[in-house]
Amino acid sequence: MVTSTPRPELRLEGPSAALLLALDALRTVKDGRLGDNIVDLGMVRSLCLDGQEAELQLVGTGASCPVSDLISAQALRALQRVLPDTDLYITHAQDMEWSPARASAKVRRHLDALA
C-alpha cells in the first residue's frame, strides 16, 4: 500500500542547468534488484555542484549492500558524461539506510505491486 508520507528531502546545490543535466544522467543508473533508477528510488541524498567540483551522496540499502560499489561506479560514469571537466566525489550516507519511504510515489506503487 502506498502511504502519503512525503519523500525525504533531496538536497541540491549549484547551477540549475547543471543540476538538471546531472539528475537526468543519474536517472540512467538503475538498481539491479528493483529495476528503477536511483533518483526515483530516493538513493540520491544530495548533489552539490561548486565550480569544478561535484559531490554526490548516496543512500544504500544496507551496510552489506552487494551492489553499492556497482551503483557508485555507474553513477560516476553517468556524471562524467555530463560534467566532463568536473572533479567528482561520491560518498555514502553512514547515518541512514534506504527505505521505500525515500522513493517517489510511482516507485512505491511499483514496490507495492512486487510485494
User: What pLDDT sits at residue 63?
Assistant: 63
Q: Which domain holds residue 41?
A: 19-114
d(CA 57, CA 29): 14
User: What pLDDT sits at residue 68?
Assistant: 83
| 4: confidence class by pLDDT, cuts 50, 70, 90 | very low
Residue 59 lies in a domain: yes
Computed over every residue of the chain, the mean pLDDT equals 88
User: What pLDDT sits at residue 3?
Assistant: 43
pLDDT digits (tens, 9 = 90+) for 67-111: 788 999 999 999 999 999 999 999 998 888 888 889 898 888 888
Q: Which domain CATH number covers 37?
A: 3.30.300.130
Residue 58 lies in a domain: yes
- CA distances (Å), origin 57, targets 5, 42, 48, 54, 110: 22, 11, 9, 10, 24
Residue 13 lies in a domain: no
Name the domain count of the chain.
1
